[in-house]
Structure formats: structure tokens, C-alpha cells
Amino acid sequence: MTVSGSDKEGAPEQGAPARPSPSTTLDGRPRRGVSRPPLPGGRWAGDGSLAGRVVKIGLLGLFTALGVWAVLPLYLGGNWLGIGLVLAVLGLVYYVYLSKRTVPAKYLVPGVLFLMAFQILPVLYTMSTSVTNMSDGHRGDKEQAINSIESMSVTRTADSEEYALTVATTGDPETGSLVFLLTDPEGATYAGTTDGLEDLGGATVDPASGKVTEAFGYTILTPAQVNTRSDELEEFAVPTDSGAGIRSSGLSTAFEGSAVRVYDAECDCVTDTETGRVYTADDELGAFVDEEGDRLPQGWQVNVGLDNFARFLLNPSFAASFFGILVWNIVFAVSVTFLVFVVGLAVALTLHVPRMRGKVLYRILVVLPYAMSSLAMYLLWRDMFNTDFGLFNRMLGLDVDWFGTPWSARAAVILTNVWLGYPYMFLVATGALQAIPRELQQAARIDGANAWQSFRHVTLPLLMVAMTPILVAVFAFNFNNFNAVWLLTRGGPLFADNSTAGATDLLITYTYRLAFNEATAQYGYAAALSVMIFVIVSVISVVSLWRSRALKEVN
């Protein structure tokens, strides 16, 4: 999708009157109606090399092939919106690269397409998710929820059909979604997922037990693997015809039974035929609720407006952990930024002398932490802080549980980040110091200022002009420094009274835990948190950029 050297923009066409007017062609404005006399020699002006044109045609062809590849599965899935989108993008690309009036776009389109698809779109999606109750149990629409409720309540009846069961998956044996490979008494094989039952062809069946032993595209779980996922297995059901479903009984048999909980469209409610309780659909909660307020676990996604935000700001227990985390997050970012600045600047000043033996060696040694892989170094520091085997406890003869108490964990996190962060500040400060003329300091010394005064009143103000934007950037980076906390403490130690928030949690690690590391994923809340982080970072950045501009004007 790149541009090659074949566009004829800016070069006269063969045979046509030459119009080589570089400054106007390169600025990309349309030149309609502008006629200029041909320049001498214009007819021989470059037309783009042949190789360039071949590359361009090749890339466009490749892109077209990519488009066809993208359309096929969408067509099979009947996703017309998706097809429209792909065609629109294809059309845009063709227009941009074949037209002569879209020169800037030729350079911007590749990056902007990626930006749109994988950054702006997710941001908008995050915002729209933040006003829903999306979570495990509230993922799909109402119809899916009803399907799941009915198939989950399947119980064995007298005429239940029995199947030989093999538990398999299409993905990773530990995390991939489960599939039931079933053999009915007649020997026909099926693959059952939460979406329904499909015929399974070409499977190898063990004649003795009737179980499927091999099937293309499926990984069959070993009994041990099935055991570790037995909780999931218990909740797994394959919906069949309305009101019936297939569930496992034990590890190697499954049965088809009828649903105890049945949905009735007329009253928009689910009736439990055993207990006689009636659960009515509540479209505000996205769940079926009975008269006593009990909910069925399977619900659907509904718009909840600003409830997610309100919960974080107003609900006492959530507000307490949210604001607690916010305060620590700011303290963390400020103290790490301040400390790396002080240490980095001190080292830079120490080495800021004209002649010093071993300066280059010192430099290399001091910058080394920055050149190491930070991910590995976080894990290394975590293990150095380990209570039983860690280097610190063994060397100092201590028995401190560094990550066990809030303040020692926070101190450890900050120390680690200072170690990783100061070399960057050292490099930047060295560059900035070298840009400040020595004469200024010498003049101050002659006027009677001592070393501290000349640093404080001459060097530092000049230094800050160059350093402020970098400090803002470092602050913003550390504000959302996921690795810094997650790889060291995973946000812990968790508070005793609140199992979702930890003493070293940043907002971003808290978000991650809510979305991916809890028993039930709470996407709606996590998205609302993301939006709030966005607002906080925006305010801080705008204010500080404004401040730094003000600082610039002073100079």
C-alpha cells in the first residue's frame, strides 16, 4: 500500500503541454484552470520510472487481492455492512492512488487507515461500551440469553437420548472454547458448541466405547485437562431444538433432555416448570427477574446510560477504591518523574566537566539499565524482592515481605522504576546541559554567585525550558505504566476489605483486572474506567502543555 515513484503528478504528461510548476504541484492543490506556458525542456521531464510504475501496479493488485480475501468470509456470513466497508476502503485507495489531485492523501492514507481501524475505532467502541452493562453473562443479545437459559436448565427425562461424549476444543487445551464431540447410538457423529449441533464428518470412532478419538480441526482434551475444566463443563450445554439441549453427565457420556426453564414470548418471561417461579424480562437491567428480585445468571446487553460512571463516583465502596487508586496513581507518577529527574540530572551534572578520566566508561555503565529489556528487568526486580529466596532478604539477612504490606510494596515499585527510568533522564539532561553555554555560568561565578546559586538561578531555568516537555511526557508515560506495576506486584497487596483493588494498583492495572482477571469479566465498568483515565490524562496534558508554552514564551 505504499507509494512508489510512479505518480505523474508534478511532471508533464507525454505529448501534453508541459506544466512543470513544482511548488504548486507539490502542495497538492488542484491546478484546474491554471495554465502556464511550458518551460523549456519540460517535455523531457521525468514521468516516473518504469520500475516505479510496475511497483505501484503490483501493490494495487496485491491490495485488491487482499480485498477479495476480506470480502469472501463476510459474504459467506452474510455481513453486508462489512462488505460495504471493505468496498469503500478499496474504492478510496483506488481513488487516491489513481487520481492526480490527491498527492498528500497518497502519503497519509496508509497510516491513517491503520489509525482509524485500530485506534480511533476502538476508542469510539470503548466509549459506547462504557454506557452498557456488558460483562460475562451480559455479552450477547436477548435471544442468545434465552437460548442459554433454556439449554442450561436441561434435565434428563425418561426418553432421553444418550450420546458417547468426547470433550474437545478448537483452540488451546487450557483456554480454548469447549466442543462436545458426540456419537449417537446409531453411530452418527456430531460436534456441539454453544451455538448448536452440527454433523461431524471424517471422525475416527473407537468401536468399543463409541467415543470419537480423532477429528480434524479439533484438539481432544486428555482426562486430566477435562478435569481441570470441570467447572466449565458443568455449565456447558449444546442447545438443540427449542426447549431441549445436550449436557454432559460425567466425562464420557452426554444426554439430550428437555428444558426446565422455558421462555414464553407472550408474557416475555421465563417459567421454571419445577419450582413454578416466573422470571420476567427487565429491559433496563438486561436480565430476567422474579418477584423477589432474584435474577437468572444469563442476561443480555442493555444500555445503562451513565450508571457505570456513577458507580465509580458515587457508590461509597467503589468510590473509595477509585479515588484511593487515583491518588496513589498520581503520587506514583509524580514521585517517579521527580526522582528520575533528580537522579538523572545529578548524574549528568557530575559528568558535566571538560576533562574527566573514564567518562565514556561511566556513561556506558550508567546507561546500561535503559538498554536492558525493561520487561525482563521488572520480573528480575520482582524476584529480587521475593520474601523467601530474594536477593535483598538474603543479602541483608532480613525476612521482609516486601510486596506484602502496602508501603513497602509502593516503595519497591518506585525504587524499581527509578532504576529503570533515570538513564533516560541522564541522556536527555546531558544533551540539554551541553546546549547551555558555559560562559553564562562563569559570568555568574565572577559576579560572586556560589556554585549552588549559579546552578539554581542560571543553569536550572535554562535547563527547564528544554526539559519541561520531556517531564510532561515522562509523567504521562508513568501515569499509565502498566508493566511497572503489573509485572512487579500485579497491583497487590489487595486490600483486606476489597478484593478488587490493591495498594499499588494504577488505574490501568485496575481496569485490566476488572476486564480480564476477575472471575466475571466486567467490560462495561472497565470501559468506563478507560474513559475516565482518558479524561484525567487529557486534563493533565493540556494544562501542562499550556504551562510549558508559557515557559517558552518567558525565554
Which residues, numbered 10-69, are part of the site for other proteins (CB under 8 A)? Answer: 10-11, 20, 22-23, 25-29, 44-49, 52
* Rounded Cα distance, 268 and 184, in Å: 35
Q: How far is the CB of 141 from other proteins (least distance, A)?
A: 14
Subset of 339-368 contacting other proteins (CB under 8 A): 343, 346-347, 350-351, 353, 356-358, 362, 365-368
Is 183 or 530 the residue whose CB approaches other proteins more closely? Answer: 530
Are 495 and 502 within 8 A, CB to CB? yes
Closer Cβ to other proteins, 9 or 214, answer by number: 9
Residue among 178, 179, 168, 184 at smallest CA distance from 256? 184
- By CB under 8 A, is residue 262 in contact with other proteins? no
| Least distance from other proteins to the Cβ atom of residue 349, Å | 9
The stretch among 151-159, 234-242, 453-461, 522-530 that binds other proteins (CB under 8 A) is 522-530
List binders of other proteins among 67-106 (CB under 8 A): 70, 73-74, 77, 79, 82, 103-104
372 forms part of the interface with other proteins (CB under 8 A): yes
Binding segment for other proteins (CB under 8 A), chosen from 304-312, 317-325, 372-380, 403-411, is 372-380
Does 486 interact with other proteins (rule: CB under 8 A)?
yes
Q: Is-contact 36 3, C-beta < 8 A?
A: no
Q: What does the radius of gyration of the chain's CA atoms come to, in whole angstroms?
A: 33
Per CB under 8 A, which region of 311-319, 332-340, 376-384, 493-501 contacts other proteins? Answer: 376-384
Smallest separation, CB 410 to other proteins (Å): 19
CA-nearest of 266, 300, 308, 434 to 363 is 434
With H, G, I as helix, E, B as strand and everything else as coil, classify residue 430. helix
Q: Report helix, strand or coil for 356.
A: coil
**Residue 9 is a binding residue for other proteins (CB under 8 A):** yes
Query: Which one among 133, 148, 321, 374 touches other proteins, defined by CB under 8 A?
Result: 374
User: Restricting to residues 155-194, which ones interact with other proteins according to CB under 8 A?
Assistant: 171-172, 175
Residue 29 or 457 having the CB closest to other proteins: 29
Burial, 15: exposed, middle or buried (Cβ in 10 Å; 0-12, 13-18, 19+)? exposed
With CB under 8 A as the rule, give the number of residues binding other proteins.
126
**Exposure of 69 in the CB half-sphere (CA atoms within 13 A):** 6
Q: Which is nearer to other proteins, 389 or 452 (CB)?
A: 389
Nearer to other proteins, 269 or 346 (CB): 346
Asked if 493 is part of the footprint of other proteins (rule: CB under 8 A), the reply reads no
Q: Does residue number 549 form part of the binding site for other proteins (CB under 8 A)?
A: yes
Q: How far is residue 19's CA from residue 481's CA, in Å, rounded to a whole number?
A: 54
Q: What is the nearest approach in angstroms of other proteins to the Cβ of residue 22?
A: 3
Q: Is the dihedral of CA 417, 418, 424, 425 positive or negative?
A: positive
Q: Judged by CB, which is closer to other proteins: 292, or 357?
A: 357
Task: Pick from 122, 185, 404, 437 the residue near other proteins by CB under 8 A.
Answer: 122
Task: Give the position of cell 559528568.
Answer: 351
Cell matching residue 118: 485500530
> 330, exposed or middle or buried, with CB in 10 Å at 0-12, 13-18, 19+?
middle
List, in order, residues 6 or more apart from 266 with CB less than 8 Å away: none
By the rule CB under 8 A, 108 interacts with other proteins: yes
Q: Compose the 398-427 pattern: x for residues touching other proteins by CB under 8 A, - for all others.
A: ---------------------x---xx--x
Q: Which long-range contacts (CB under 8 A, 24 or more apart) does 142-146 make?
A: 142/281, 142/300, 144/300, 145/288, 145/298, 145/299, 145/300, 146/263, 146/270
- Identify residues 428-447 at the interface with other proteins (CB under 8 A): 428, 430-432, 435
